[in-house]
Amino acid sequence: MNAATQKPLLVVGAGIAGISAALEAAEAGQEIVLVERDPAIGGRVVRNLHYFPKLCPPTCGMEINIRRLERNPRVRVITGAQVTKASRSGDGWSVTLTHAPRYVNSRCTACDECSQVCPAKVPDPHNLLMLEVAAIRLPHADAWPRIYTMDRNACPAGCTKCVEACKFNAVNLDATEQTEELEFSAVILATGWQPYPIEKIEELGGGKIPDVIANVQMERLASPTGPTGGKIQKPSDSKPPKRVAFVQCAGSRDVKHLPYCSAVCCLASLKQAIYVREQLPDSEVTIYYIDRRAPGRNEDMLTKVAGMDGVKLVKGKVGKIEKGAQGLTLRVEDVESGKLTDAAADLAVLATGMMSSLKDAGLPFDIERDDDGFGLDNPRAGLFVAGVARRPEDVAASVRDATGAAAKAIAAAKQSP
């Protein structure tokens, strides 16, 4: 079977895992359709200020991947689309893709004139709804494709200001949903993860106390394109915190919440402790942990942070957070002695875990899952799972995992007519 006659592979989800799987398979000669639900690719990684282990901005890695995608004619990237129907067809899959209307076409030059005249504001998904943005906008500063998107439901009745402002005739307010039927030899699901909702961790003040935030929110607070322009500050009064507590295993390794370890939360908090200390030199950072999990070369970051001035690592389980007379009171159980103590903080960052989005992705594939909701390969059905949809892991492991999924899917595709 040669590449010209072989059906393409479908990759669902264009986070780092889906992009890697698509590129690896395409560079091995396979035709690929990479489908992303959001208007831009990159997944959750592009919401981070920096990423460990190198602590560089995620755009570094993304730029290389985007160049590889642009240069590879074997990958068709579709954004703003979802798989709405799928059925077995011979040894492969018949799939219906539903393309959501984007309202802005590829003539868009990202000049921003439409955004500037747009009267409607919406909470920004890229900033986890912590910032309001124009209904017509670039999905985020480094978005690819570099085409604006629109929340059409937010438009005031009869408003056509964006259409009038666009010199390139790129806005079409009457765009409609489209469907497309395609045949595939095999499918890689790389739909990633969702953060465990902090509102569910009531005992730690999640969703109730404004100065208790989640680790994913800290990434946006520290980012220059985030809701505070990169200033780490308390949501309650917009002042910089003096005492910052990182609460590890918040809702993880806990039968009431997520029973498993998400593998990256210790490293994410160590990284964020660096953000805080670099930006607020007078701050005091305390990381409360049960175990410090920093495998392989990531141990260097643990050693670095543990040795930093102004940072303390305390082996203790935080069981409760309440509003105190001045700031927050954390009830901490010393894991070794079992003794309870109270500690104070101005800002608490809950290191919440990752849940596989295959749990409720609503995909029309019969996906096998493990007890924690993470996807399992089904080679007989030509279905493979990559990245955090398969298990909690960091970017480097997701890329390795995606490469493996690409190899398995290519092998399955060779057997498919």
Residues near ligand FAD (CB under 6 A): 12-18, 35-38, 43-45, 48, 51-52, 82, 190-193, 215-216, 219, 264, 268, 271, 354, 357, 361, 363, 387-389, 393-396, 398
Burial class (CB in 10 A: 0-12, 13-18, 19+), 245: buried
Least separation in angstroms between CB 394 and ligand FAD? 3
Q: Is the bond preceding residue 197 a cis peptide, omega within 30 degrees?
A: no
CA distance 187 to 87: 12
Strand pairing partners for 317? 333
Least separation in angstroms between CB 414 and ligand FAD? 25
CA distance 117 to 128: 24
Structure tokens at 367: 């996906």
Structure tokens at 145: 């494709």
Give the Cβ contact number of residue 67 at 10 Å: 10
- For ligand FAD, which is the closer residue by CB, 6 or 48? 48
Least separation in angstroms between CB 38 and ligand FAD? 4
CA distance 40 to 37: 8
Least separation in angstroms between CB 153 and ligand FAD? 19
- For ligand FAD, which is the closer residue by CB, 49 or 170? 49
CA distance 32 to 74: 6
CA dihedral 359, 127, 157, 167 (to 10 degrees): -120
Q: How many CA atoms lie within 13 A of 170 on its CB side?
A: 24
Least separation in angstroms between CB 363 and ligand FAD? 5
CA distance 48 to 125: 14
Least separation in angstroms between CB 4 and ligand FAD? 27
- For ligand FAD, which is the closer residue by CB, 82 or 185? 82
Least separation in angstroms between CB 415 and ligand FAD? 26
- For ligand FAD, which is the closer residue by CB, 192 or 206? 192
CA distance 383 to 412: 9
- For ligand FAD, which is the closer residue by CB, 190 or 332? 190
- For ligand FAD, which is the closer residue by CB, 114 or 351? 351
- For ligand FAD, which is the closer residue by CB, 118 or 198? 198
- For ligand FAD, which is the closer residue by CB, 174 or 181? 181
Least separation in angstroms between CB 343 and ligand FAD? 22
Strand pairing partners for 178? 99
Per DSSP, the three-state class of 67 is helix
3-state percent breakdown (helix, strand, coil) of the chain, nearest 5: 25, 25, 45
Per DSSP, the three-state class of 273 is helix
- For ligand FAD, which is the closer residue by CB, 120 or 264? 264
Least separation in angstroms between CB 398 and ligand FAD? 4
